[in-house]
Amino acid sequence: MAEKPHPSTAGYAEEADDLLVRYEKMQFAEIYERVQNLFPHAPGRVLDIGAGTGRDAAGFVELGYTVTAVEPVAEMREGAKRLHPSPDIEWIDDHLPGLSRIAYRKGQYDIVILSAVWMHLDAAERATALPIIAALMKPGAVLVMSLRHGPVPEGRRMFDVSAEETNLLAVKEGLEPCFERHSGSREALNKAAGVTWTRLAFLKRA
C-alpha cells in the first residue's frame, strides 16, 4: 500500500508540470549569491530537502558537491530526474518532519538546503524537524533556508513563520545564526501576489 501523502505537499502533484517550468527559470547562482561564501569548500555532501525540480541539486553538482535530494512528490521527483540526470544526485522519497528514510545518516552533510519548504510545516512539526536536521549536519556544516511570507495559493498548506522563531529553534540545536536577509520575490507570479522572503543561514558549532 502506498504511503499517504503528507499534508505539507498539498497541491504540488497537481501543479507539477507547471512548477517544473516555473522553478527552472530561476537561476541557482542568483538565489545563493549572498550565502555561497558560507559553504564549506567542495568536495562535500549536500542535503537538499524538498528538492523540487532539482535545480539547486544540479547547481551544487556543478560546484563539485554530491547531493542527496529529498522530494516526497513523485511527479516532481520524476520530472526532476529527467531534467537533471546526474549520477551525483541521489533521489530519495522522504519528507519532513521525520525524514524517516535518512534520519540515520547523522553527521554526514556539509550543507543542508531548505528552499521554500519550512513554511509548509506547522509549529509542532517545525519543532520536531529541526533537531533531526541538525543531527544530520557535520560540525562546521551550514544550513540555508528560506521563509515565505504572503498570500497562500489555493489548495496549498502554508504557515507564516518568523525569522525570530526559527532562530530560537536553531540556537537550541547548536546552530548559530550567521545570515539573515529579507527581500521580494524573484518569481513572476509570486512577485505579482506580493510574496516576500526571508533567507537565513546557520552554522553548526564544532
pLDDT score, position 185: 75
Domains of the chain: 7-204 (3.40.50.150)
- Given a contact cutoff of 8 angstroms between Cβ atoms, the answer to whether 112 and 142 are in contact is yes
Interval 48-97: pLDDT, tens = 999 999 999 999 999 999 999 999 988 889 999 999 999 999 999 999 99
- Given a contact cutoff of 8 angstroms between Cβ atoms, the answer to whether 116 and 53 are in contact is no
User: Is this structure's pTM higher than 0.95?
Assistant: no
Q: How many CB atoms lie within 10 A of CB 74?
A: 15
pLDDT score, position 21: 63
- C-alpha cell read off for 140: 562546521
Q: Which of 174, 175, 194 shows the shortest CA–CA distance to 184? A: 194
Collapsing DSSP to helix, strand or coil, 57 comes out as: helix
pLDDT score, position 2: 43
Regions of the chain where pLDDT drops below 70:
1-5, 7-24, 187-188
- C-alpha cell read off for 204: 553548526
C-alpha 38/C-alpha 141 separation (Å) is 9
pLDDT score, position 59: 96
pLDDT score, position 27: 86
What sign for the dihedral angle of Cα 128, 131, 42, 147? positive
Q: How many CB atoms lie within 10 A of CB 149?
A: 17
- C-alpha cell read off for 39: 559553504
142 strand-pairing partners: 111, 203
pLDDT score, position 1: 38
